[in-house]
A and B are shown apart, each in its own frame.
Chain A
């Protein structure tokens, strides 16, 4: 039960408890000998009954009873009356055990087992449950069992929803009831049951939970339900394509040669390999992107059977971002020509979200690729400097506009009621006197509004959201990091919400042929977000932030120069997502915390390098097994990168040993910590 203080035992109670323990031990040893000798006589079974009535937690005794029941059932064959008697006895034992302790896992489980044996009296179960749920309305064992019985008896979800009405009505601080309500409603809404349309039902649910929240804002149960409702309002089940590179209607210039940050236009791309990435960004992780679900129509030769790869951790088959590499330089001369590329997604089914929803509406986009015959002057041997020489970017907003189209998530959902519901909630929560959870909810609502509305005043919302999170960081220090993260997300959303905002962070790098650099430095970011709006970025400055990881950057497939100096990266494992960046040549991770903490928690999430056959077989691994074992996290990231310039000064790991290791792992490296390497 909740909210009841524990009392210390009195001496006589302690004595009684000791006597009980002695008795229990005697019973237990007797029982165990029965169990081991497979004795299922009446006396033996009665002994287990006695044991369980004293101690319902004796799991072995429950299992013993299962064996005993099986044994009996096997002997009586098919006499329905006898079967019933045997099973009834089990139910009786469970019930008396439960009245001893109704939180006994073993007892509830045994009851489920008995019912699954085809016991017919399931109708009684709900009555029994009502009794236990009256005793303790939030008892999750009872709620779990209730769902089991409901499924077994095929009781309607509407009736169960009504039951949560009653339970919430009698006391609304009941997490279990609210939770069950969300489960039932999800199911009813998903199968579009009669009278359960989201645009009608969700606003009704808001009304209900508002009453709970406003009556007692200190009670958390309602807030949880509110958060769930908000999620139902904002998110759609079916996956959507949120952006792509190249984007629809864009015209890209492709050069042969290296792309060492030497492109002054946003839409220019060059690669030694003669391939350019085609990036698809979905709103949620999907699987099944392949040459059959995504078809490419183009005159560029050699792209008949594209390989689509998910940008995700190893061995995962789902991701928000999928990449295919298109060939633009082939044996035939193709320079100076323009090629149209038409991409069709979802023509044939197969793209499925991790929750099992199909990418339903097929979508098509077209871009033009201009392949230049001149090889761009390569300056790849020069060092890339982040320190100075940045000029404000003279906005070519036409260019930028083309890059940030495809914000189609709104078009596909019936957004009217969603916008109305959220607008109503915002008005309401502005009225609720200051409280932490009120501020947080208001911030979440505003964020949701900004996400699903396309009005021009988004910026105003973001400023309010940022203020709210700042307040919360000051008010509630124990959740500081969470607020910091969502603050970062909101800030990045704001930066990417319009071309005006974004262009304020774009610079020309004078030292580097005026190539365009996105500078998000000094913003105290702790998390990366809105990558889908930044797919075009080739040079990114994230220095002087509070980043712990590069998670999310994997989607920025064009990235060739990345500055992460002066952040809070603690290990190379935190840079894992960079492995997907095939164009990355310049990486600055100086002045972080790499190597400072010997125990890396992510180590235990990866398979241990010592058991990985991969490295022992490759060359570096064979040549210097000790270093690879020591720097395995760096090894796994760096060996997949094609870096020309790396900065790791200011980290604990940096030093001669590590440098020599890096040189072996990254043989093409030209600049290490600002010094040109002698080759």
Chain B
């Protein structure tokens, strides 16, 4: 770490806001605060943008997952008002396997692998609205996710019939199921249309208040939808994690009809939002790391100061300032920290209760959330579905094995998105879990359903001969498994923190909490209110240009 020094000193040394970490929520705050005229210093200890939301090369990704503590060296001056900060890793059970090192070596620079995958955005997502509002959309190009499937242990992937045309073309549903599903969609659409024109007395009757408060799964049953379709709606469209059928066991995770309809609404409005997007989902070229970068660029345009490779080593409580790894002290009344930054144990013991209260956001807690998120990344040769490159696959609860408690989502992305070399795909998997083992078991089960196992040379011919379908399955070249802690952002007055990546497919909850934090920090100002109409869009062929 000492080679990071010396740094040229920063000038000015006083800011309205200091943000540490360049993840999605931090970047939104930086862009928002800068555009509203605040002076912002945006720091990141890492040599890249994005923090836990970054897209990295395979070696960088590996070292980031493995770096348990990129802790800055303890401060030299131990005056009692200085509080040392430490980084702690959000990741546990990190397991990385390389099966074809030569292949990877050959293409080492062509990978942009997401840390927070699988992640995609709905066209009608709040994050997209925010990008349009802030003008950061001009820095990112999106492409559609071509298809989405629901899978099970048999390995068969069924299309998610998510639109009228998809239902018409679907091969897996019976005619009657098609009829029921379309009827249900129409009901939802009628409901949405009627709720948008509020004071219409007759329109409200489409769905009763009672229905809206009932569990979504019960409402689906009431609509006489068969199990197969319920499963598609719950996990393939509403993107739920937890098993909705055993409502008693997991009552905290039961989705109300109202929320379920909201999720369907998001999906339906996504499908028709941009004329050049085919489906509901899209993915940014060059990886998810482009999103925080886009907001950071926007912030920089508005005057935000950026310094990478610059950890904050200590808080100087009496001076309302932070000490950087360079030794410089920077002053600000407000500080927003990355979720992995904590107060060093040594400093903690010497704090008064009042100081602890000021610093409560940074005090290490007993695992604040029971839930974790197990993630997997596979670099594969071939595709999980012939002739389709970018696709979402969902394995609903119990579909892989009877004890599977939560849905496993899988996102396959191809070279068309500039995330991996041609002929290969990046496959992201995730599932919400209570403990590391449970999560990794589910992820591994999904992997083995989709991918041909790496077998020793001498056995390879046999296995191919015995099972023809195995031949079409992709081969894994590189694999990473890890479990990520879920940390919620907190507002703490002078010192606040942002959220870690969550277990969802999109950013809606993260964006929501960032917007809330922004309001708390800036005193009820609306995010990007000052932004005027964004200017010229570049036209880039077949990519999805998101525009108002």
The stretch of B30-38, B168-176, B243-251, B303-311 that contacts the partner chain: B168-176
**Distance of A433 Cα from B164 Cα, bound (Å):** 18
Listed by A's residue number, 5 A-B pairs whose Cβ atoms lie within 8 Å are A212-B168, A214-B176, A214-B178, A215-B167, A431-B176
From known contacts A169-B165, A169-B169, infer whether A211 and B179 are also in contact, taking CB-CB under 8 Å.
Answer: no
How far does the alpha carbon of A170 sit from the alpha carbon of B163 in the complex, in Å? 11
A428 at the B interface (CB under 8 A): yes
Contact across chains for A171 and B179 when beta carbons are under 8 A apart: no
What is the minimal beta-carbon distance from B442 to any residue of chain A, in angstroms? 34
A200-219 interface code vs B (CB 8 A; 1 in, 0 out): 00000000001110111100
The answer to whether B176 and A211 have CB atoms under 8 Å apart is no
| A224 vs chain B, min Cβ distance (A) | 16
Question: Complex: how many Å from CA A212 to CA B178?
Answer: 9
Q: Is A172 an interface residue (CB 8 A)?
A: yes
Verify A215–B176 contact, CB threshold 8 A.
Answer: no
Mark out the residues of chain B between 164 and 207 whose CB falls within 8 Å of any chain A CB in the assembled complex.
Answer: 164-165, 167-169, 175-176, 178-179, 182
B179–A217 contact, CB under 8 A? yes
Contact indicator per residue, chain A 519-558, by CB within 8 Å of chain B (1) or not (0) = 0000000000000000000000000000000000000000
Encoded as 1 (CB less than 8 Å from any B CB) or 0, chain A from 214 to 256 comes to 1111000000000000000000000000000000000000000
**Known A215-B182, A216-B182; contact A428-B165, beta-carbon cutoff 8 A:** no
> Considering only CB atoms, which chain B residue lies closest to A169 in the complex?
B169
B165 touches A170 (CB 8 A): yes
Point out the residues of chain A lying under 8 angstroms from B182, CB to CB: 214-216
Q: State the Cβ distance, B370 to closest chain A Cβ, in Å.
A: 43
A432 at interface by CB-CB < 8 Å: yes
B positions within 8 Å CB-CB of A: 164-165, 167-169, 175-176, 178-179, 182
Task: Tell me which of B168, B176, B179 contacts A172 (CB under 8 A).
Answer: B168
Please indicate the chain A residues that have their CB under 8 angstroms from the CB of B178 in the complex: 211, 214-215
- In whole angstroms, how far apart are the Cα atoms of A170 and B165 in the complex? 6
Query: What is the distance, in angstroms, from A171's C-beta to the closest C-beta of chain B?
Result: 6
Complex-state Cα separation, A214 to B169, whole angstroms: 11
Candidate in B175, B176, B178 with the most chain A CB atoms within 10 angstroms:
B175
Residues of chain A within 8 A (CB-CB) of B168 are: 169, 172, 211-212, 215-216
When distances are taken between beta carbons in the complex, the residues of chain A under 8 Å from B165 are 169-172
Q: Which residue of chain B has the shortest Cβ distance to A172 in the bound complex?
A: B168
Distance between B190 CB and nearest chain A CB, rounded to angstroms: 12
A216 and B165 CA atoms in complex are apart in Å by: 10
| Distance in angstroms between the alpha carbons of A235 and B507 in the assembled complex | 59
Chain A hits for B167, CB < 8 A: 215
A169 to B169, CA, bound (A): 7
Complex Cα distance, B182 from A170, in Å, reads: 16
CA distance A215 to B166 in the complex (A): 10
Q: Report the nearest A residue to B174, measured CB to CB.
A: A214
Give the 4 A-B residue pairs with the shortest CB-CB distance, closest first. Answer: A214-B175, A214-B179, A215-B168, A215-B167
Question: Complex formed: what's the CA distance from A428 to B178 in Å?
Answer: 13
> B175: which A residues are within 8 A, CB to CB?
210-211, 214, 428, 431
Segment 35-91 of A: residues with Cβ below 8 Å from B: none
Does the CB pair B169–A432 fall under 8 Å? no
Q: For A212, list chain B residues within 8 Å (CB).
A: 168
From B167, B168, B169, B176, name the one whose CB has the most chain A CB atoms within 10 angstroms. B168
**Chain A binding surface SS class:** helix
Provide the bound-state CA to CA distance between A172 and B168, in Å.
8
A207, closest chain B residue (CB): B175
Q: Report chain A residues within 8 Å CB of B169.
A: 169, 211
Minimum CB–CB distance from B90 to chain A (whole Å) comes to 45
Residues of A near B179 (CB, < 8 A) are 214-215, 217, 432-433
Other A-B contacts than A169-B169, A214-B175, 7 sampled, CB-CB below 8 A, are A172-B168, A214-B179, A216-B168, A216-B182, A432-B176, A432-B179, A433-B179
Q: In the assembled complex, which residues on chain B have CB atoms less than 8 Å from the CB atom of A170?
A: 165
Question: Whole-angstrom distance between the alpha carbons of A169 and B176 in the complex?
Answer: 19
* Residue of B with least CB distance to A170: B165
Chain B residues within 8 Å of A215, by CB: 164, 167-168, 178-179, 182
- B-chain residues with CB within 8 Å of residue A432 when the two chains form the complex: 176, 179
Identify the interface centre among A169, A214, A215, A432: most chain B CB within 10 Å of its CB.
A215
CA distance A212 to B179 in the complex (A): 10
Contacts of A169 in B (CB 8 A): 165, 168-169
Q: Which of A210, A216, A217, A431 touches B164 (beta carbons < 8 Å)?
A: A216
Query: How far does the alpha carbon of A428 sit from the alpha carbon of B168 in the complex, in Å?
Result: 16
Closest to A428 in B: B175
- Residues of B close to A172: CB separation below 8 A: 164-165, 168
* B contact residues around A214 at 8 Å (CB): 175-176, 178-179, 182
The winner among A212, A214, A428, A431 for most chain B CB atoms within 10 A is A214
Q: Annotate A317-338 by CB proximity to B: 1 below 8 A, 0 otherwise.
A: 0000000000000000000000
Quote the shortest CB–CB distance from A423 to chain B (angstroms). 16
Task: Tell me the nearest residue of chain B to A211, going by C-beta.
Answer: B168
Looking at the assembled complex, report how far the CB atom of A575 sits from the nearest CB atom of chain B, in whole angstroms.
Answer: 48
Question: Of all chain B residues, which has the CB nearest A433?
Answer: B179
Interfacial chain B residues near A431, Cβ < 8 Å: 175-176
CA distance in complex: A170, B178 (Å): 17
- How far apart sit A428 and B176, CA to CA, in the bound complex (Å)? 9
Binary per-residue interface labels of chain A (476-510) against chain B in the complex, 1 for a CB within 8 Å, 0 otherwise: 00000000000000000000000000000000000
Q: Once the chains are docked, how many angstroms separate the CA of A34 from the CA of B168?
A: 56
Select from chain B the residue with minimum beta-carbon distance to A214.
B175
Cα distance A172–B182 in the bound complex, in angstroms:
14
B226 → chain A closest CB, angstroms: 13
In whole Å, how far is B167's beta carbon from the nearest beta carbon of chain A?
5
A171 proximity list for chain B (CB < 8 A) = 165
Which residues from chain A contact B176 at a C-beta distance below 8 Å?
A: 214, 431-432
A433 to B183, CA, bound (A): 11
Nearest Cβ distance between residue B229 and chain A, in whole angstroms? Answer: 13
In the assembled complex, the CB of A385 is this many whole angstroms from the nearest CB of chain B, namely 58
**Closest approach, in angstroms, between the C-beta of A434 and any C-beta of chain B?**
12
Give the docked Cα–Cα distance between A170 and B164 (Å). 10
B382 to chain A, nearest CB (A): 27
Give the distance to chain B from A560, nearest Cβ to Cβ, in Å: 54
Complex CA–CA separation, A169 to B165 (angstroms): 7
Shortest C-beta distance, B481 to chain A (Å), equals: 40
Most chain B Cβ neighbours within 10 Å, of A212, A216, A217, A431: A216
In the assembled complex, the Cα of A216 lies from the Cα of B179 at a distance in Å of 7
Give the shortest distance, in Å, between B216 (CB) and chain A (any CB). Answer: 23
Closest to B179 in A: A214
A209 to chain B, nearest CB (A): 10
Q: How far is the CA of A462 from the CA of B59 in the complex (A)?
A: 77
Q: How far is the CB of B509 from chain A (nearest CB, A)?
A: 34
In the complex, A169→B170 CA distance in Å?
11
Complex: A601 Cα to B73 Cα, angstroms: 103
Within 8 A of B (CB), among A122-172: 169-172
| A371 vs B178: C-alpha distance when bound (angstroms) | 67
Using CB atoms, name the residue of chain A closest to B161: A215
A135 to nearest B CB, angstroms? Answer: 12
Distance from B227 Cβ to chain A, minimum over Cβ atoms (Å): 18
Tell me the smallest distance from the CB of B410 to a CB of chain A, in Å. 27
A433 to B175, CA, bound (A): 12
Q: In the complex, what distance in Å separates the CA atom of A433 from the CA atom of B176?
A: 9
Within the complex, the shortest CB–CB distance from B33 to chain A, in Å, comes to 42
Q: How far is the CA of A68 from the CA of B179 in the complex (A)?
A: 58
Bound Cα distance A215, B163 (Å): 10
In the complex formed, the residue of B with least CB distance to A212 is B168
Task: Give A210 to B177 CA distance when docked, in angstroms.
Answer: 12
Shortest C-beta distance, A198 to chain B (Å), equals 23
* Distance between Cα atoms of A216 and B161 in the complex (Å): 13
- Chain B residues whose CB sits within 8 angstroms of the CB of A216 once the complex forms: 164, 168, 182
- Which residues from B are CB-within-8-Å of A211? 168-169, 175, 178
Nearest-CB distance from B461 to chain A (Å)?
Answer: 39
Chain B neighbourhood of A428, CB < 8 A: 175
A217, closest chain B residue (CB): B179
Contacts of A217 in B (CB 8 A): 179
Please measure, in the bound complex, the distance between the C-alpha atom of A217 and the C-alpha atom of B167, giving whole angstroms.
13
